[in-house]
Structure 1
Amino acid sequence: MRPASRSPTSAYSSRGRSPNDPHHSRGRSPPQAAPFSVRPFLVRSGPGREGVRRVAFHVRVRRDELRRAYEQGSAEARYFLDVQTGDILPIFVDIIERGGNPEDARRIASGVNVRYFLIPHKPSHEGYEEMEEFIGTVRDKRLRQALLDAIEGKGAFRRFREVLVSYPVDEERWLDEREARVREELDSWLERTGIELDET
């Protein structure tokens, strides 16, 4: 995945178009564009036998691209997965609110949960709580105090990581736990939306 730009029209990847979305309406005119908003997820997989997942979309996109979007996403920067092309599309809320690129916003808004699916992101307060929880498991008293000092004020996450660099065992444990949380969140999102990744 390439680094995100400030252009809301740029895509993280460029691929050929996959087969038409099976949920695309037939014989009807496209829905009217609506003001940009992020509506709640709709489960597209439909009812099925208990314990059996029904896949609605096979999407050619790599998991590391989804992870990058998950980690870079925020209340100001939303990332959408286009299930037809596998592209990851950024929408910057401040640009939209200033009236920039309304066509892109309307296009995505009209296809939310049909073609464009909002990739989740971790709210900043949850990231802070995870650091606090981790600090509570640190046995080294000096490291624990250094981490507590590091998470005070702005730039807490950067300082937290800078302290951990000097403690490779604890740093590896933090990274492993963080990786597991991200994977769990993305797996849950893929399950809810009926998306299956094709990473070939």
Structure 2
Amino acid sequence: MAIVHNVEIVWDELMDAFTSGQSDRVYFLDRYTGEIFFVPATLEDDEVWRQMDTGRDRFLEIPRFDYGVERQFMSGFIGAIQDSGLRSILDGSLAGKKPYGNINEILPFFPDEEERLTAMKDDFFASRVKNWLEENNLFTVDTEAMLSSRM
């Protein structure tokens, strides 16, 4: 049976690491202290990478942000929009067609849909983080209560 580590992890920092689109950083969670930190992906210090590799039981690499998953998520969100005109605009934006703008620039004109997207993203990422914590034996009853109160 795996050991469950009970550490305090700052939820907002963990969410920031999971949602970071910065490919020049590799985020880690120190399983013993709960600290979240990053190492520049281009760092050429072999000793640092060796420590991260040999300390896998302590330093957990936080999965990189997956743009493919986000595209699928956004496609599902757009497909569920009732307003066919807005759905068409957002489809064009997601496909990168001109003259459509960025989805984040369009949705503020549709506050109900923007709020729905924010809630869906929060749920999606919270679920992803929860699964990752469980897989790494860091999920506790306190985490469940925290997740419930954040949603």
TM-score of the superposed pair, with normalisation by structure 1: 0.63
For the pair shown, which has the larger CA radius of gyration, 1 or 2? 1
What is the Cα-based RMSD across aligned positions, in Å?
2.3
Shift of 1:74: 5.9
- Structure 2 gaps, min length 5: 144-151
Aligned pair 1:106/2:106, yes or no?
no
- Structure 1 gaps, min length 5: 1-44, 47-54
Superposed, which structure 2 residues align to 1:55-94 within 5 Å? 56-72=4-20, 76-93=24-41
Shift of 1:148: 1.1
Aligned residues: 139
Distance in 2 between the 1:65 and 1:110 partners? 24
TM-score of the superposed pair, with normalisation by structure 2: 0.81
Structure 1's 74 and 123: CA in aligned 2 closer, same or farther, altered over 3 A? farther
Structure 1's 116 and 182: CA in aligned 2 closer, same or farther, altered over 3 A? same
* Contact 1:81–1:87 (8 Å) recurs in 2: yes
SS of match in other structure, 2:38: strand
1:124 counterpart (67, 81, 98): 67
Partner of 1:170: 113
Quick one: which amino acid aligns to residue 63 of structure 1? Answer: W
Structure 1's 181 and 84: CA in aligned 2 closer, same or farther, altered over 3 A? same
Q: What are the superposed Cα offsets for residues 128-181 of structure 1, whole Å, 9 maximum, x if unpaired?
A: 111111111111122111101211239xxx811111111000011111111101
Distance in 2 between the 1:58 and 1:115 partners? 13
Higher relative contact order (CA 8 A, sep 6+): 1
Distance in 2 between the 1:73 and 1:81 partners? 17
Shift of 1:196: 4.0
SS of match in other structure, 1:59: coil
Superposed, which structure 2 residues align to 1:134-145 within 5 Å? 134-145=77-88
